Chains A and B, each alone.
Chain A
Amino acid sequence: MATQVKVLYFGAAQQVAGKASEDFTAEDTASLREQILERYPAMRRVTFRLALNRNLLKEESLLKENDMIAILPPFEGG
């Protein structure tokens, strides 16, 4: 079942989206990824990983209501 989740944008992804966060409806991260790329075609030029509720994802995952998914371009700290 599709659930409402919050997407957080960081770094270059935030510049492409033009906002820090927004809500999506998606049942898993794969379909969420597709929706994001459809809404922001320029996001295809941004390499990014996903974090689900502050944990870096190593594979696609199912989503629960109110999950927080962060779009994380390559880290640039240090």
Chain B
Amino acid sequence: MKNRYLVGGPITPLLISELMTLGNDDNAAGAISIFIGKVRDDEVNGNRIEALDYSAYSEMAEKEADGIVKTVKAAFSDVRKVLLVHSTGMVKAGEVSLFIMVTSGHRDHATRACRHTLEMIKERLPVWKKEIF
């Protein structure tokens, strides 16, 4: 299965720019809500996190991500597009590991659907992380 929702390594500024262009081709969408998740340099037991090494059950993650997009579109009638991308592999502190973009006719569904997508990713996407110090 082709990976449409998972990308190896960090989500780069170039990829973010490409995704924003891809999602912004619809003149009936008056609102775009974007969430960008970054790796924090938390301190754990005196050690600073340098990176997170993400692993995924890719086949299931692609299926679940597809389901999340469909569920969000069904739940928010004004939503036009839902883009989501999650990293796998090594992502350094400060780099981006999650990108969500929701477009809709008006602001209310864009912001709420974006938040809802994020919560569903946390709940349904089979992804794990290992802290690298």
Contacts and interface: CB of A to CB of B under 8 A. Distances in A.
Interface in A30-75: 51, 54, 70, 72-73, 75
A18 interface: no
Interface string B17-41: 0000000000000000000010000
Contact of B60 (A11, A54, A73, A76): A54
Count class of interface residues, chain A: 10 to 19
Contacts of A8: 57
A14 B118 CA distance: 26
Interface string B29-58: 000000001000000000000000011110
A30 B86 CA distance: 33
A54 B56 CA distance: 12
Nearest to B119: A78
Given A77-B54, A77-B86, A11 B128 contact: yes
B63 interface: yes
Count class of interface residues, chain B: 20 to 34
Nearest to B1: A54
Interface in A4-22: 8, 10-12, 14
B63 A54 contact: yes
A11 B55 contact: yes
B126 A51 contact: yes
A78 B54 contact: no
Interface of A: 8, 10-12, 14, 51, 54, 70, 72-73, 75-78
22 contacts: A8-B57, A10-B55, A10-B128, A14-B55, A51-B57, A54-B57, A54-B59, A54-B60, A70-B57, A73-B128, A75-B123, A75-B124, A75-B125, A75-B126, A75-B127, A76-B127, A77-B122, A77-B126, A77-B129, A78-B37, A78-B98, A78-B125
Top 7 A-B residue pairs of the complex, sorted by shortest distance between their CB atoms? A77-B127, A11-B128, A77-B125, A54-B60, A78-B122, A76-B129, A76-B128
